[in-house]
Amino acid sequence: MLDYTDEAERYDASRGGEPRAAAAAEGVLSLLPRQTRRLLDVACGTGIVTRRLASARAGMRVTGVDLTYAMARQAAARLPGAVVLADCRRLPFRDGEFDAVTSVWLLHLLQRPEHVRAAVAECARVLRPGGVYVTTVDKAAAHNVGSDIDAVLASRPRSPVPDTSSAVGSYAAEHGLLPAGLTRFPGRGQGRSPRRTVADLRRGWFVTLPPGHPLADGFAARLAALPDQDRPRPDPWFTLRAFRKTP
């Protein structure tokens, strides 16, 4: 797993920057009720999406929370006084404090089902009855766009997928969160090129092929043999699901 303290400085530039953030914010906002006044963005990262949410609607107060200090520090520069350092499985907020809660690109990082369940439970706890929880699901699948890069990577070792739509929906239902919508948005600027994929492989992007793994060199060589080494393949498409808390 990547060290997000090390990633913080280059995180935005390496993941599509403002165009991707704009697409993510647009997707989230399309699922948020217009009457939302208090929004919690869990795992806000550098705040690049959170800032767009905060500026999108007059009268909506947005709070960001992240576990990694280096990421939260960048978010705090974008949203002064509105960012909290905390674990998504133990949120430092009262029951029912928010009209809406979001977690974009979080659940896939938690790895163990019980951690995903705990994060969803906490998001449900701090959400008021009738409020909406919006989260990305099936994150890894978004990156499979049917390219020649995907064909090379298809045989790599796989890790369990913690954020499947069905699993997240099940955890949500356990805490009174019922389906309330779905949308998709493009990861603009995130289309992989072979050369960039090799670089990501070398720095530990792929959890099951960490640097030094006996299979890593073989995958790197096959990627390096692909044509158009610097041509990005199609952008990924991410899925957002919304859940409404029962009264």
Confidence of residue 159 (pLDDT cuts 50, 70, 90): confident
Q: Which of 141, 143, 164 has the alpha carbon at shortest distance from 236?
A: 143
pLDDT in tens, 103-118: 999 999 998 999 999 9
6 pLDDT more than 90: no
pLDDT in tens, 193-221: 999 999 999 988 888 898 889 999 999 99
Using CA atoms, how far apart are residues 2 and 18, in angstroms rounded to an integer?
22
Residue 247 has a pLDDT of 87
Q: Which of 184, 199, 182 has the alpha carbon at shortest distance from 235?
A: 184
Residue 201 is assigned to a structural domain of this protein? no
Residue 24 is assigned to a structural domain of this protein? yes
Confidence of residue 75 (pLDDT cuts 50, 70, 90): very high
Using CA atoms, how far apart are residues 224 and 219, in angstroms rounded to an integer?
9
Residue 97 is assigned to a structural domain of this protein? yes
Instruction: Report the domain count for the chain.
Output: 1
154 pLDDT more than 70: yes
Strand spans (E) along 32-104: 38-42, 61-66, 83-85, 98-103
Residue 235 has a pLDDT of 96
Residue 128 is assigned to a structural domain of this protein? yes
138 pLDDT more than 90: yes
Residue 33 is assigned to a structural domain of this protein? yes
Confidence of residue 8 (pLDDT cuts 50, 70, 90): low
For residue 41, give the CATH number of its domain.
3.40.50.150
**Which residues, in sequence order, are CB contacts of 224 under 8 Å at separation 6+?**
194, 195, 198
4 pLDDT more than 80: no
Span 213-242, mean pLDDT? Answer: 96
The three-class DSSP label of residue 8 is coil
Residue 194 has a pLDDT of 98
Residue 131 belongs to domain spanning: 8-144+160-191+235-245
Please state, for a pLDDT cut of 70, what percent of the chain lies above it.
97
Residue 198 is assigned to a structural domain of this protein? no
Backbone angles phi, psi at 66, to 5 degrees: -150, 155
- pTM of the full predicted structure? 0.93
Residue 12 has a pLDDT of 64
Residue 170 is assigned to a structural domain of this protein? yes
Dihedral of alpha carbons 147, 26, 86, 17, sign: positive
Q: Which of 156, 136, 238, 161 has the alpha carbon at shortest distance from 197?
A: 156
